[in-house]
């Protein structure tokens, strides 16, 4: 049984599309309930509860998450919200840096800090964070790689801290996924997209459902003993020679 079944809910940031929406569909299909924390409504089927918020705004994030906690018993939290970034290091921009760090790292830790007390009281909870294969290294991705490496470090530390309270924390690290984020830099049918697919041992980029299936594994009560792990979902690209894409 997945953790969100019954009267509990799974909070998914960024469930308005892409991986987050695919995961929301999985949770709903298994009888669970989902709250979407995002800057726009979800494209998932009816049944998802939208809470519109700018996750780069710390105060707005706190207010939105506290409202969710006041209305629902949160059994799972998944941080899917993110924005793409590819640029050489000499193009560093302080404003862009702050936005990416706030969305990927600060929002995740803030939401976890808010939901953990209730999970501790029940001695039950599942937390899943979205990492990236980019944390292993990729050209023009120093900033994105840094925040995703930070996600992994945060998850491992939290896994140790929260394990005595019955809460597991894990990371799913996708390679390229066929979402609007990917197509910003690799338009469908372009030479860049073709080169990217050629660098993946399985010969294709992931579908959002591929990543959602992995996240669902960590949300199940049956896998509650698994914690502090990072699961690559990249068609073998994490063990293949890098080709700089």
Strand arrangement of the beta sheet that strand 230-233 belongs to = 49-52, 34-38, 8-13, 73-79, 125-130, 167-174, 230-233
Name, in order, each residue with C-beta under 8 angstroms of 74's C-beta and a sequence gap of 6 or more.
8, 9, 10, 11, 35, 68, 115, 118, 119, 125
Structure tokens at 226: 């698994």
Count CB neighbours of 122 within 10 A: 14
pLDDT at res. 241: 54
Give the tens place of pLDDT for each residue, 96-117: 899 999 999 999 999 999 999 9
Q: What is the DSSP letter of 134?
A: G
Q: Whole-number mean pLDDT of the chain?
A: 91
Please name the residue that has the structure tokens 């299936």: 213
**Which residue in 143, 113, 108, 153 sits closest to 128, CA to CA?**
108
Catalytic member of 65, 144, 218, 232: 144
Average pLDDT of the segment spanning 188-214: 92
pLDDT at residue 244 in the model: 46
Q: What share of the chain is helix, strand, coil (3-state, %, to 5)?
A: 45, 20, 35
pLDDT tens digits for range 157-176: 999 999 999 999 999 999 89
CB 168 within 8 A of CB 225: yes
- What domains appear along the chain, each with residue ranges and CATH number? 8-231 (3.40.50.720)
Q: Model confidence over 109-139: pLDDT tens digits?
A: 999 999 999 999 999 999 999 999 988 877 7
| pLDDT for residue 2 | 42
206, 234 contact by CB (below 8 A): yes
Is residue 15 within 8 Å of residue 44, measured between CB atoms?
Answer: yes
- Whole-model pTM: value is 0.91
Whether 144 is catalytic: yes
CB 81 within 8 A of CB 20: yes
Position 172 scores a pLDDT of 98
Q: What is the DSSP string of 138-186?
A: -TT-HHHHHHHHHHHHHHHHHHHHHGGGTEEEEEEEESSBSSHHHHHHS
Confidence of residue 72 (pLDDT cuts 50, 70, 90): very high
| Separation between Cα atoms, residue 85 and residue 216, nearest integer Å | 26
Q: How far is CA 19 from CA 121, 163, 178, in A?
A: 30, 26, 9
């Amino acid at each position: 049984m997945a953790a969100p079944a019954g009267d509990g809910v799974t909070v998914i940031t960024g469930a308005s599309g892409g991986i987050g929406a695919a995961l929301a569909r999985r949770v709903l299909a298994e009888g669970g309930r989902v709250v979407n924390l995002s800057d726009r409504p979800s494209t998932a089927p009816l049944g998802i509860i939208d809470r519109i918020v700018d996750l780069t705004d710390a105060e707005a994030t706190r207010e939105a998450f506290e409202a969710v906690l006041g209305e629902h018993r949160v059994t799972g939290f998944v941080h899917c919200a993110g924005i793409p970034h590819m640029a050489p290091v000499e193009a560093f921009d302080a404003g862009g840096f702050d936005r990416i760090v706030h969305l990927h790292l600060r929002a995740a830790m803030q939401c976890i800090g808010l939901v953990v007390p209730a999970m501790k009281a029940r001695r039950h909870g599942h937390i899943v964070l979205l990492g990236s294969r980019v944390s292993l290294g990729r050209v023009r991705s120093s900033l994105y790689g840094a925040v995703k490496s930070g996600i992994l470090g945060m998850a491992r530390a939290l896994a140790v801290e929260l394990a005595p309270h019955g809460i597991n924390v894990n990371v799913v690290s996708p390679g390229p996924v066929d979402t609007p984020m990917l197509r910003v830099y690799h338009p469908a049918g372009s030479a860049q997209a073709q080169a990217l697919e050629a660098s993946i041992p399985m010969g294709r980029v992931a579908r959002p459902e591929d990543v959602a299936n992995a996240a669902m594994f960590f949300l199940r009560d049956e896998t509650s003993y698994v914690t502090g792990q990072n699961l690559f979902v990249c068609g073998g690209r994490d063990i293949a020679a890098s080709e700089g894409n």
